[in-house]
Structure 1
Amino acid sequence: MCCGGVDDEDGDVADTQSFIGVNYGDQSSELPQPADTVNLLKTTTIAKVRLLGSADQSMIKALENTNIELVMGLDNTEILWVASGPDAASQWVNSKLLPYYPASKIIIITVGNEVLTAENQNVISALLPAMQNIQNALNTASLGEKIKVTTVHSMAVLGQFSPPSSGAFHVSFVDAMKDLLKFQSAHGSPFLINAFPFYEYKSNPTPETLAFCLFQPNSGQLDSKSNITYMNMFDVEVDAVRSALNAMGYKDMEIVVAQTGWPYEHSRDEVGPSLDNAKAYVGNLINHLRSNVGTPLMPGKSVDTYIYELYDEDEPMGPSSISDQSFGIFNSDSSPLYDAGLFKSSQNPIPPSPSTLSCPTLAPRSAGLWCVPKPDGISDAQLQEIINSTCNQKGIDCSPIKPGGACFEPNTLASHAAYVMNLHYQNSGSNPWECNFAQTATITTVNPSYGGCVFPSGSA
């Protein structure tokens, strides 16, 4: 396990387990006091906390002398500043880390979240210099060997992940990844990935896919190259990352799942989120980790995994849907939304049987999948930028949204953006990560076509 663990000496499951972590974000209107959150954590088997965004100093202090390991980080907006020179990095370390260490067991610093896929070239170029500057600041403080510096990636950094044995980084990220991995390998830093089987189900909402994503009984998926039959999507995603790292020559680099979870409420036209499904996913994931079976390519060792997230964040920084704000596992009064087996007093939840799993029926529903803008929270400037950048891509035909085209009317930015978003999504293989556009897009099963304007669709 990365940077040690905090299991009890006798291995009693009732105590914290080094591979179970949780994400904590502060973008909420009803957060409990940090001390109350720490008291809640002490009743669970959670051994690690990852602070989302920039370091929340009140939580860092509250976690002092608790033996709970801590991942803290720089927000994407801080990367350019820290990359500007050693003084900025030293200022960050001196003000946000040193006052609390070692009373707070800080083990990892994450420099940004999903930077490579955020499509901001300036920040992408600054990522490695920022990581190097933070590392040098830690070295100066004699902490370079004790605290690891890394960054967090989305699954979109992979060009493909199925079958897992063919996992490889997307060609557009290979050069940047080479430099990042070289740095991380030199300092023994883990590779952090956000892995959400929920989005795989969302892109292919069938009962079999749901069972596969929720660790429920299913027929499995055969990787013909390795001759391994996979029984859940979590293992597929993690092993695909393992294959991608192996292909780059980093067979010993540790993988950490920085975020994974399942929402319990859904937006209009969205399938998958429900309380039963969230309980099934998180509960079965915890059981899977506790089994120590590992993944087929990494057997006998549970990957350090941080559940997303402790509380709902209802004040997101950008456009979001109801499901985006519904990943919390606890209410603000510390009561659980569902029992996933994290309490020391209740570690073996009985997830819903497959027959009771919630798979919302939406009407009208067409046999297809489309990528469209989220219903609200997107500015005209964002829509225009999406149209401009997408229409400049090779193979994207935007003539239907030009004057005289079948999709020109209604002549609105939202309508035109929907057409080009979907065209990009379909041309990119209908992969769910291609329907992102800086978190302004969502996948729908409701056909947005109208009149003579036909939106291509992916199979549902």
Structure 2
Amino acid sequence: MASLSFFSFLILFLSAIAVSDAGSVGINYGRVADNLPPPDKVVQLLKSQGVAKVKIFDSDSAVLTALANSGISVVVCLPNEQLASAANDQSFSDGWVQANIAKYYPATKIEAIAIGNEVIAENITDTTKFVVPAMKTIQASLVKLKLDSNIKVSSPVAISCLGNSYPASAGSFKTDQVQSTIIPMLDFLRETGSYLMVNVYPFFAYKDNSKTISLDYSLFKDNPGVVDSGNGLRYKSLFEAQVDAVYAAMSALTYDDLKLVVTETGWPSAGDAAEVGASQDNAAAYNGNLVRRVLTGNGTPLRPNDPLNVYIFALFNENQKPGPTSERNYGLFYPNEQRVYNIPLSQKGLNGNQSPPASNVNQTAPVNNWGGVSKATSGQTWCMASPNAEAEELQEGLDYACGEGGADCGPIQPNGACYNPNSLVAHASYAYNSYYQKKARVSGSCFFSGTAYVSTQPPSFGNCQFPTGY
């Protein structure tokens, strides 16, 4: 009995470790638009998608009120234009924290305050000098109200705050900002037990260097990877290399103990002609693969034991954002709550059990175009290829499943029992399901770069029977 108890404990312990290794996925809820749904509807949408974390770019009362008692954690922002006031006047910070934080907490789960946004990266001299002083006065205000143990203070920086980012092991901050701003900020983060907020956009690097940077490498797709000449680590994605460049930059200044959170990352679904790589397919691949990477993987090659925590930019397409077309097309959803493209946003979504958006707009389960479905079988699920997926991506998924994935693809070969109907969707569905069943239907095994979904209705066409286990 004692050995059985120890074995049970060991299983529980290892399970706890596995869970702790998973990162988190949040979403940036920007509102530079005139056609978005009201905050209460947005909260319903977030909950329907299993989103447990959200970041906003101000401290809007209607938004914070709508988020109360939702269970969704929130990062609020002290806008750039208020940094000088906060830095120079402790009473201003006291009043701001009272009116924008204490008023809503704890009903609204505010977990952090972002002091400005990308001020340091933009090197706005007149504003940069206020960042750390503002962080200190806001922190002092939290201490007065005894909120400092639950609410962290940081300031989002862009990857462009690095003077060097390649190879990742040689990452370093811009020399003209190290002594004046970077070190004082890192000291503050260490002293308060906070973390560095970093905005990371592989899209920009790819757009400007598409002839030398692989698109597959940029989108988390299968690729040979890039070996870092400085430490010998192999990187399979540009995102991880960029994150590790920031870690390396902190290590170079002896701040190895600090953590970071990626407070913005994303890929536009549309752009101007010069914005190479901006497309719906690439956006779906990047964000879909990012979610899968974060929720099913560990850390980065340089920090394998530090889970990745990210906030996707953005929840909606925002029609009033200035700049190139891409700026108005980072959203995962249109203002009517219809998905721009279909990707999971939570662990439940990866498992195929994600609810449709609250509006129920265009969210019926994909129906195959090659046969009917029979009555749902309790407790059984099948992995199906989406008929709305691009042919090239379906072919890539089919090739992987039948090749490296080890799926049983014999029945879809010529003269096989499931060769007909001879369509890419039908064949991909069979291969996807075979892979899914062989993997014991574990989390993440029915994704295939966003081209697959889990169905509770067994497919049926001709004499072909999809397996439910091996």
Counterpart among 138, 143, 162 of residue 139 in structure 1:
143
Counterpart among 154, 159, 166 of residue 158 in structure 2:
154
- The residue correspondences of 1:343-422 to structure 2 (distance < 5 A) are 346-347=349-350, 355-356=392-393
Q: CA deviation at 1:164?
A: 0.9
Separation in 1 of the partners of 2:36 and 2:212? 36
- The residue correspondences of 1:161-176 to structure 2 (distance < 5 A) are 161-175=165-179, 176=181
SS in 2 for 1:299: coil
Separation in 2 of the partners of 1:81 and 1:185? 24
Q: Does 1:261 align with 2:261?
A: no
Aligned to 1:50: 55
Q: Which amino acid aligns with 2:42?
A: T
Q: Is the 8 A contact 2:27 2:315 kept in 1?
A: yes
Kindly provide the CA deviation profile for residues 405-433 of structure 1, in whole angstroms up to 9, marking residues without a partner as x. xxxxxxxxxxxxxxxxxxxxxxxxxxxxx
Q: Is the 8 A contact 1:110 1:152 kept in 2?
A: yes
- The residue correspondences of 1:184-263 to structure 2 (distance < 5 A) are 184-206=189-211, 209-263=214-268
Q: Is the 8 A contact 2:298 2:308 kept in 1?
A: no
Separation in 1 of the partners of 2:213 and 2:115? 37
Structure number with bigger Rg: 2
Q: CA deviation at 1:300?
A: 4.0
Aligned to 2:297: 292
Instruction: Please state which structure has a larger fraction of its residues in helix.
Output: 2
Q: Is the 8 A contact 1:292 1:301 kept in 2?
A: no
Q: Which amino acid aligns with 2:163?
A: G
**CA gap 1:271/1:356 in 2 versus in 1, 3 angstroms:** farther
Kindly provide the CA deviation profile for residues 134-187 of structure 1, in whole angstroms up to 9, marking residues without a partner as x. 011111111122111110001111111111111111111111101111111100
Q: CA deviation at 1:240?
A: 0.7
State the Cα RMSD in Å.
2.3
Separation in 1 of the partners of 2:274 and 2:248? 35
Q: Is the 8 A contact 1:72 1:109 kept in 2?
A: yes
Q: Which amino acid aligns with 2:237?
A: N
Counterpart among 329, 333, 348 of residue 332 in structure 2:
329
Q: Is the 8 A contact 2:23 2:298 kept in 1?
A: no
**CA gap 1:136/1:343 in 2 versus in 1, 3 angstroms:** closer
- The residue correspondences of 1:425-436 to structure 2 (distance < 5 A) are none
Kindly provide the CA deviation profile for residues 274-317 of structure 1, in whole angstroms up to 9, marking residues without a partner as x. 1100000000000101123221011144311000000112222x
SS in 2 for 1:97: helix
SS in 1 for 2:52: strand
Aligned to 1:67: 71
Separation in 2 of the partners of 1:119 and 1:249? 23
Q: Is the 8 A contact 1:44 1:344 kept in 2?
A: no
Aligned to 1:400: none
Kindly provide the CA deviation profile for residues 316-346 of structure 1, in whole angstroms up to 9, marking residues without a partner as x. 2xx4111011000011122211111126764
**CA gap 1:124/1:315 in 2 versus in 1, 3 angstroms:** same
Kindly provide the CA deviation profile for residues 427-446 of structure 1, in whole angstroms up to 9, marking residues without a partner as x. xxxxxxxxxxxxxxxxxxxx
Aligned to 2:85: 81
Separation in 1 of the partners of 2:225 and 2:346? 30
Q: Is the 8 A contact 1:159 1:170 kept in 2?
A: yes
After TM superposition, the structure 1 stretch with the greater mean CA deviation from structure 2, 100-109 or 328-337, is 328-337
**CA gap 1:356/1:168 in 2 versus in 1, 3 angstroms:** same
**CA gap 1:179/1:207 in 2 versus in 1, 3 angstroms:** closer
Separation in 1 of the partners of 2:263 and 2:345? 18
Q: CA deviation at 1:218?
A: 1.5
SS in 2 for 1:49: strand
Counterpart among 36, 39, 44 of residue 41 in structure 2:
36
Q: Is the 8 A contact 2:168 2:241 kept in 1?
A: yes
Q: Does 1:177 align with 2:182?
A: yes
Separation in 1 of the partners of 2:295 and 2:211? 28
SS in 2 for 1:72: strand
Structure 1, unaligned runs of 5 or more = 1-9, 358-460
* TM-score of the two chains, using structure 2 as the length reference: 0.69
Structure 2, unaligned runs of 5 or more = 1-14, 353-384, 395-470
Counterpart among 111, 114, 119 of residue 118 in structure 2:
114
Aligned to 1:128: 132
Identity in percent:
34
Q: CA deviation at 1:120?
A: 2.3
Q: CA deviation at 1:188?
A: 0.8
Q: CA deviation at 1:353?
A: 7.7
Q: Which amino acid aligns with 2:68?
A: E
Separation in 1 of the partners of 2:178 and 2:390? 42
Number of residues of Structure 1 aligned to a counterpart in Structure 2: 342
Q: Is the 8 A contact 2:87 2:131 kept in 1?
A: yes
SS in 2 for 1:38: helix
Q: Is the 8 A contact 1:43 1:343 kept in 2?
A: no
Separation in 1 of the partners of 2:67 and 2:94? 23
**CA gap 1:247/1:119 in 2 versus in 1, 3 angstroms:** closer
Counterpart among 340, 343, 349 of residue 340 in structure 1:
343
Q: Does 1:320 align with 2:323?
A: yes
Separation in 2 of the partners of 1:210 and 1:56? 38
**CA gap 1:276/1:144 in 2 versus in 1, 3 angstroms:** same
After TM superposition, the structure 1 stretch with the greater mean CA deviation from structure 2, 293-302 or 347-356, is 347-356
SS in 1 for 2:102: coil
Q: Is the 8 A contact 1:50 1:71 kept in 2?
A: yes
Q: CA deviation at 1:354?
A: 10
**CA gap 1:208/1:354 in 2 versus in 1, 3 angstroms:** farther
Kindly provide the CA deviation profile for residues 234-253 of structure 1, in whole angstroms up to 9, marking residues without a partner as x. 10011111111111111111
